[in-house]
A and B are shown apart, each in its own frame.
Chain A
């Protein structure tokens, strides 16, 4: 006996998943998430700053201090050393902002990471690119910086024909591109996976053939699993973006490292 059942569901147009209508003119969901991320970060640190620092930290104060120590111990001291502690505010802001833009991808009823759109990763990557180049020029001088970037020491002179174009492309062009695309593509892929499994679960649970309904448990299980996985991805991508920014700045400031 052959059972021929066809379950069909329509996958929404990709633009419908990623492009959001304006809530107010000029401000869509991604913009609201970015504003909310900055606002939540500001409120947490404002609340932390207003608490008595003498007593044992609790709540937002504890959260803020954990954030500061995480950035200082696990990113700055590992990549830039003690000299890089002055970069704590920038790197902490970068980490908190990226993380708070990633996290809405798994928050029910929001379910859209702002970093799954290219605008924010691109802006942040360009900002990091500008900063590490400016820092390199500031610390090594214009020619010194570009000499250290394009003509790395210890390479036989004949190889500069190959190495210099590669270094030019990798340091000055690919770095911001890869930084932006890594964050954007990871968050977009996670978002699309969640959409696919959510739609497949819904389609199977609402199938006309009752025999298909139990099968819906499988994509639903994957949906739950991937949601948990996205919690990790949100943190990991924020960490990777921040640590790469720190590595690039440290490389520009101390080329000997």
Chain B
């Protein structure tokens, strides 16, 4: 038997001592002791139960359990692999669809831009033509107006000349007592007006 003594003295030192004592007799070491069974030696019944349990466990694991678990794992891995491949194919298909869509969008954008450019050109051409037509109309109207203005001015000038001629003739007749030649007066008035105007 092992007995431990813990001695505590004033300096708080702990001493543990083990004294070998026989389990059967309780006698101190040195006295005749009964050895008892070796604690390290294997017992037949433990060996039998341990070996039997392990062999049965190994048999079940080897023949049924591990293959079934492994088969399940393999089938799930295959399923995951198949799903992964399907997902990859779907993703590739989707990417191809996206590329086609983007290509179509680019083509439509290009067509739209081309049509817009054509429309813009047509519009510019039509606007230029309209502007030219309107400018022509404006020029024609301006020329007509200028003609009318010139005619009116000429008419007004004639009236002024005749009036001034009449006044000049009358004034000369009153001042001199002789009526001047109407053609001479008229020419003189016209010359005077032109000189004023220039």
Residues of A within 8 A of B (CB): 1-16, 18-19, 22, 26-28, 30-32, 34-35, 37-39, 41-42, 45-46, 48-49, 51, 53-54, 61, 64-65, 68, 88-90, 92-93, 96-97, 101, 114, 117-120, 122-124, 127, 184, 200, 203-204, 212
Are A28's CB and B46's CB within 8 A? Answer: yes
In the complex, A26 Cα to B65 Cα: how many Å?
29
Tell me the interface secondary structure of chain B in the complex: helix
A-B pairs under 8 A by CB, number: 169
Closest residue on chain A to residue B16 by CB atoms? A200
In the complex, A45 Cα to B62 Cα: how many Å?
11
Residues of A within 8 A of B42 (CB): 117-119, 122
B103 within 8 A of partner (CB): no
Distance of B60 from chain A, by nearest CB (Å): 5
Are A3's CB and B50's CB within 8 A? Answer: no
Are A64's CB and B57's CB within 8 A? Answer: no
Are B43's CB and A117's CB within 8 A? Answer: yes
Are B3's CB and A8's CB within 8 A? Answer: yes
Residues of B within 8 A of A (CB): 1-10, 18, 23, 36-37, 39-43, 45-51, 53-54, 56-58, 60-62, 64-73, 75-76, 79
Residues A64 and B69 in contact in the complex (CB < 8 Å), given A7-B5, A93-B58: yes
Are B37's CB and A19's CB within 8 A? Answer: yes
Are A1's CB and B10's CB within 8 A? Answer: yes
Are B60's CB and A31's CB within 8 A? Answer: no
Residues A65 and B69 in contact in the complex (CB < 8 Å), given A8-B6, A90-B62: yes
In the complex, A38 Cα to B60 Cα: how many Å?
10
Residues of A within 8 A of B5 (CB): 6-8
Residues A41 and B61 in contact in the complex (CB < 8 Å), given A15-B39, A120-B46: yes
